[in-house]
Structure 1
Amino acid sequence: MSQSQWQWENATAGAVAGFATVAAMYPLDIVRTRFQVNDGRATNYPTYKNTAHAIFTITRLEGLKGLYSGFFPAVLGSTVSWGLYFFFYGRAKQRYSKNREEKLSPALHLASAAEAGALVSLCTNPIWLIKTRMQLQTPLHQSRPYSGIYDALRTILREEGWTALFKGLGPGLLMVSHGAIQFTTYEELRRIMVDYKERKRKSESDSNLLNSFDYAVLGGSSKIAAILLTYPFQVIRTRSQQQRPSNEGIPRYMSSWHVVKETARFEGLRGFYKGITPNLLKNVPASSITFIVFENVLKLLRRMGRND
């Protein structure tokens, strides 16, 4: 198999995995985003007691449509992000493993994941900004709601300029550590699991040793580690990207550092972990779905490539 074919197989499998993940878990993403921006001072966002209450309230006030606000940019962003991530990650791993017969070390896995994450963040930040804005449109929202992704893009460019599309990029780049931690943990746990199963069944190849349940466990475990260590960056990015009303006497966030100072001042450490429960409920199973789909689609593509 050529190097370019291997990279595009990774990209295709990643894009399919990203789409499947968003479609399955999206309502919890809405809840997480609304928890993240609610600092108790703005009145244009509803207050929810917990995740279940949030889902019930959004459904009652906004209908099922409310649970899928911003779904199109989320699907677009996730599909593009995962496709690019696995593509850049595969390229980086191949480059680092050149002339190396042994498997990559944890440090090189970390470097590959960090490189891929930084490139993806730069490419997709405008999509995530639009998704966040559309997720936060509620019946209490005071500005004109966006009618769709194109209207959102056009309005943001007209009213705020092109630089607004990169709000939250700073914490987004810091969140590269999230993917780096997740993928390094995944690769190391995968290696341990494969080594263990190889001792049990030496006749089988690496690709046949692990099944979908194994990928689910690996994906979920690696996601938990990444979320616990990097969640504050997500809160900072989301708050940087929101539109705060200026007529309530509450200053808008001017920068990511301003978000950090205001959150620490008014909410303390707890403020940096708002929405972590729906985030875990969404992302742990979502990560399992992602890696199940990715690994199985990759197997299918490689099998088809060998048959050509």
Structure 2
Amino acid sequence: MTSSQPLDWRWENAVAGSVAGLATVTFSHPLDVVRTRFQVYDGRNPNLPCYRNTPHALFTIGRSEGLRGLYAGFNPAVLGSTLSWGLYFYFYNNAKQRYMGNQDKTSARIHLASAAEAGGLVCLSTNPVWVVKTRLQLQTPHHQGRPYSGFTDAFKTILRDEGWRALYKGLLPGLFLVTHGAIQFTVYEELRKIIIEFKHKENSSTGKTSDLLTTIDYATLGASSKLVAILATYPFQVIRSRLQQRPNTYGVLRYADSGHALEKTARLEGFKGFYGGFTANLLKTLPAASITFIAYENVLNLLKKIKMKD
């Protein structure tokens, strides 16, 4: 994520992002299942059991559904995350190079615009995968009607029974969630510059020659930037998950559109309804963000060293 990168390094960004996304999903998926179920639970859905808190949800799912329940929707999650991170880092660095032009330094404006553009393109590319993932995660032993047998079956069934539009349920709040990535990357880049400048000054005064960031620095930067983004955008995640639910056995949707989901959630559940699953989300995303950026930066540095040797 350096301020100036040769254009032919963009594929390394995509590879590093994909590896980072895969590591993140494998580590955190059970918490993602819990988060999704809390996000859509409104006390009125007979398909979903009531959980007291995150530990109770993990224990209950593990006891009643086993490892398969804790990793429900894992395949689309891996596919979606790998695609999302790979495409995101590729689009982000591509946009940053374009916005920089002949400039030597980046700015907060360039980081923000690059992250927003990348997020929008990724959202349009991967929304169908997230719809399938959400529905598989919400599929419990109490589910009414024929359950999906897996990713392929879910995808085909949605297309057959609901049409291609159903694969883009939650797209609008998903596009609003572009601000999440924009906020996260802007905060990450700005904090990164501050730490590098601080280390450079400190090393100059002590006579040291290296001002490279460490794994701890990457972990701290990843978690800090993620926390800021979560606080600002979490309600959009809740609305998106609610829109992506499967219709009931009569084909009736619980929420007609984003406006209906927003109004119904506010009226029946209040402010608290927009932060369902927030604890599970923090437990999932803060360590995951650290792992993602540790993996990304280290894989990227490794690929650069290999390329320089060639």
TM-score range, shorter chain: over 0.9
Q: Secondary structure at the match of 1:252?
A: coil
The CA distance in 1 between the partners of 2:138 and 2:5, in whole Å, is 45
Q: Does 1:185 align with 2:187?
A: yes
Q: Which residue matches 1:201?
A: 203
Q: Which residue matches 2:301?
A: 299
* Alpha-carbon displacement from aligned partner over 1:162-182 (angstroms, at most 9, x marks no partner): 111000000000000000000
Q: Secondary structure at the match of 1:139?
A: coil
Q: Does 1:25 align with 2:48?
A: no
* Alpha-carbon displacement from aligned partner over 1:70-127 (angstroms, at most 9, x marks no partner): 10000000000000000000001111111112x2111111111000000000000000
Post-superposition offset of 1:5: 2.4
Alignment of 1:101-140 (within 5 A): 101=104, 103-140=105-142
Post-superposition offset of 1:19: 0.2
Q: Which residue matches 1:58?
A: 61
Alignment of 1:251-262 (within 5 A): 252-262=254-264
Alignment of 1:150-161 (within 5 A): 150-161=152-163
Q: Which residue matches 1:172?
A: 174
The CA distance in 1 between the partners of 2:300 and 2:139, in whole Å, is 37
- Which residue type is aligned with residue 264 of structure 1? A
Please, which of 87, 98, 103 is the counterpart of residue 101 of structure 2? Answer: 98
RMSD after superposition = 1.6
Q: Which residue matches 2:77?
A: 74
- Which residue type is aligned with residue 120 of structure 2? A
Post-superposition offset of 1:200: 1.5
Contact 2:144 2:249 in 1 (8 A): no
Total equivalences in the alignment? 304
Change (3 A) 1:218 1:157: same
% identical aligned pairs: 62
Contact 1:246 1:252 in 2 (8 A): no
Change (3 A) 1:204 1:160: farther
The CA distance in 2 between the partners of 1:274 and 1:227, in whole Å, is 13
TM (normalized to structure 1)? 0.96
Report the more deviating stretch, 146-155 or 49-58. Answer: 146-155
Post-superposition offset of 1:28: 0.2
Contact 2:128 2:167 in 1 (8 A): yes
Please, which of 210, 215, 222 is the counterpart of residue 219 of structure 1? Answer: 222
Q: Secondary structure at the match of 1:201?
A: helix
- Gaps in structure 1 of 5+ consecutive residues: none
- Which residue type is aligned with residue 159 of structure 1? D
- Which residue type is aligned with residue 27 of structure 2? A
Post-superposition offset of 1:256: 1.2
Q: Which residue matches 2:233?
A: 230
Change (3 A) 1:107 1:57: same
Q: Secondary structure at the match of 1:45?
A: coil
Contact 1:32 1:278 in 2 (8 A): yes
The CA distance in 1 between the partners of 2:217 and 2:120, in whole Å, is 28
* Alpha-carbon displacement from aligned partner over 1:135-176 (angstroms, at most 9, x marks no partner): 000001112111111111100000000111000000000000
Alignment of 1:268-279 (within 5 A): 268-279=270-281
Contact 2:246 2:253 in 1 (8 A): no
The runs of 4+ residues in structure 1 deviating greater than 6 Å are none
Post-superposition offset of 1:184: 0.3
TM (normalized to structure 2)? 0.95
The CA distance in 2 between the partners of 1:154 and 1:240, in whole Å, is 19
The CA distance in 1 between the partners of 2:279 and 2:246, in whole Å, is 24
- Which residue type is aligned with residue 28 of structure 1? L
Q: Which residue matches 1:45?
A: 48
Contact 2:145 2:249 in 1 (8 A): no
* Alpha-carbon displacement from aligned partner over 1:162-211 (angstroms, at most 9, x marks no partner): 11100000000000000000000000000000000001224646xx6101
Post-superposition offset of 1:257: 1.1
The CA distance in 2 between the partners of 1:56 and 1:144, in whole Å, is 26
Q: Does 1:14 align with 2:17?
A: yes
The CA distance in 2 between the partners of 1:100 and 1:127, in whole Å, is 37
